[in-house]
Amino acid sequence: MKIKTTILYLLLYISLVSFSQDNKFLLKGKSDLKGVKLVITKNNSPYKTVATNESGKYRIELDFNNLYQISFEKEGYLPKKIEINTTIPPDLYNDELEYKWINDLTGLFKSCGNVNVSVFNKILKKISFDKRKKKIVENKGYTSQVMAELTSQVAALKDCEEEIIRKEEEKKKKEEEEKLAAEQKKREEAAAKLKAAQEAKRLAAEKAAAEAEAKRQAEIKRQKEEAARIKAEAEAKALAEKKAREEEKERKRIEAEKLKAEQAAKALAAKEAAAKKKAEEDALREKQRKEAAAALAAQKAEEEKKAAELAAKKEAERQIALAEKAKKDAEIKKAAEEAAKLKAEADSIKQAELAEKRKKAQAAALAAKLERDRKMKAAAEERERKKQIAKAEEEARRAAFLAKYKEDRTVEYKTDKAKKITIITKLTGKEVNIYKKVEWNWGGKYYFKNDKNISKAIFYRESK
């Protein structure tokens, strides 16, 4: 009895009548399946085929006084058939009434190859006008007879349908498991690939660090060699300049002594020439005087003799004076030479003192230079250390960026009541830049890079 009730629920739901102005018999209803076709015959001849709409509903107008058979069909399911006789006795026909039948199709059985389904080719229910009741009714006796024939097949179909559903569920479960396994394999491959990429990145970073350290050491060595070369060149230049100054000083000293000797010799020669000239002039005057005296009278011979003796005496005295003067000049010259020698020695001592002062100044300059070189080296090492720290921080930022965004360029959108913001985060080399385009609802557009205003051209060029 329970199976019968279930079959009746699956197959049909009966209802009746209302009012209309039409001369048509109305058949309408709905199905719980989409795409059900209604294949209709009229008086055992093909009539037409209609289909349920998107909601599974259907509506058919049939002519009176005809015999219709309607088969509800869907691919993969067993058909269900009903028969409707629209014949109404003329004496009972009322054109002010609406003659209709509502047939809700609640389900079709799926086809199953190992179940006898020939009974489903039969008409499951018959509908016609009952003269006694004066309305359209279903032939309950016929329906009960057909239902009795269907009981065993329906049970078998339900079991078969349950088996099909079970197999479909198992298949679906298997496909889902295979899909999950494939996804797990894909995740594992992606993880392995990521791990390999990270390892390669780490090795590349270590290699780059080693190369940078080697480059830094080579640069330090080059700077030391360059400093040593500059120092050697500076020392050689200082020695050369010192030697040149000493040679120039010696040359000037020799030239000065030579000039002084030449001047002394010239002075002495001039003095001797003057003395000789004076002696010649004196001799000439004496000769003239003697000749004048000889021309005098003899009587003055004695006087002349006395005068001559006096003159000779005077000449002798003069010669003695000249000799003494020459001796004095020689002594003056010797004293001048000794004074020049003493001055040269004093100048030499002074130059030695100046040289010692220059040497101390050079030593102080060298010490200052070495201190500057040490400070420059320390500054260079500090810059390198900061550079390495900046590099490590940049690598950390890059790793954080990649961990967050998974790619070198990401685009985000934010919208509120007043504006729309497009945010592009881009990793270029080792630098992370954030570009923003702000579009106000009133029409204004502004562009930013790291929260600093930029032009539209720069925004589109750099954020690609």
- Contact by Cβ (8 Å): 55, 18: no
Residue 422's domain comprises 409-462
Q: Is the pLDDT of residue 167 over 50?
A: yes
210 found inside a domain: no
* Dihedral pair phi/psi, residue 198, rounded to 5°: -65, -40
**Residue 408 vs residues 202, 411, 434, 462: alpha-carbon distances, Å:** 18, 10, 12, 13
In sequence order, the 6+-apart residues with CB closer than 8 A to the CB of 300 are 293
Categorize the per-residue pLDDT at 113 as very low, low, confident or very high, splitting at 50, 70 and 90: low
The mean pLDDT value for 77-81 works out to 87
Rounded to two decimals, the pTM is: 0.34
125 found inside a domain: yes
Q: What is the pLDDT of residues 33-75, one digit of tens each?
A: 888 999 999 999 999 999 998 888 889 999 999 999 999 998 8
Total number of domains in the chain: 2
442 found inside a domain: yes
Q: Is the pLDDT of residue 262 over 90?
A: no
In sequence order, the 6+-apart residues with CB closer than 8 A to the CB of 93 are 64
Q: Which of 138, 163, 186 is the last residue of a domain?
A: 138
447 found inside a domain: yes
Q: Which of 109, 138, 167 is the last residue of a domain?
A: 138
For helices 140-295 and 301-405, the axis angle rounded to 10 degrees is: 180
- pLDDT of 150 reads 76
Exposure letters 419-442 (e unless 16+ CB within 10 A, then b): eeebebbbbeeeebeebbbbeeee
What is the CB-side half-sphere exposure of residue 397 using CA atoms within 13 A? Answer: 15
Whole-number mean pLDDT of the chain?
82
Q: What is the pLDDT of residues 406-456, one digit of tens each?
A: 567 889 999 999 999 999 988 877 688 899 999 999 999 999 999 999 999
164 found inside a domain: no
Exposure letters 147-172 (e unless 16+ CB within 10 A, then b): beebeebbeebbebeeeeeeeeeeee
Q: What is the pLDDT of residues 138-162, one digit of tens each?
A: 998 998 888 887 777 777 777 776 7
33 found inside a domain: yes
62 found inside a domain: yes
- pLDDT of 10 reads 34
Q: Is the pLDDT of residue 108 over 80?
A: no
Helix (H, G, I), strand (E, B) or coil at 436: strand
Q: What is the pLDDT of residues 224-233, one digit of tens each?
A: 999 999 999 9
Domain holding 71: CATH number? 2.60.40.10
397 found inside a domain: no
**Residue 330 vs residues 75, 126, 264, 267, 316: alpha-carbon distances, Å:** 155, 176, 10, 11, 21
- Contact by Cβ (8 Å): 57, 14: no
Q: Which of 85, 114, 138 is the last residue of a domain?
A: 138
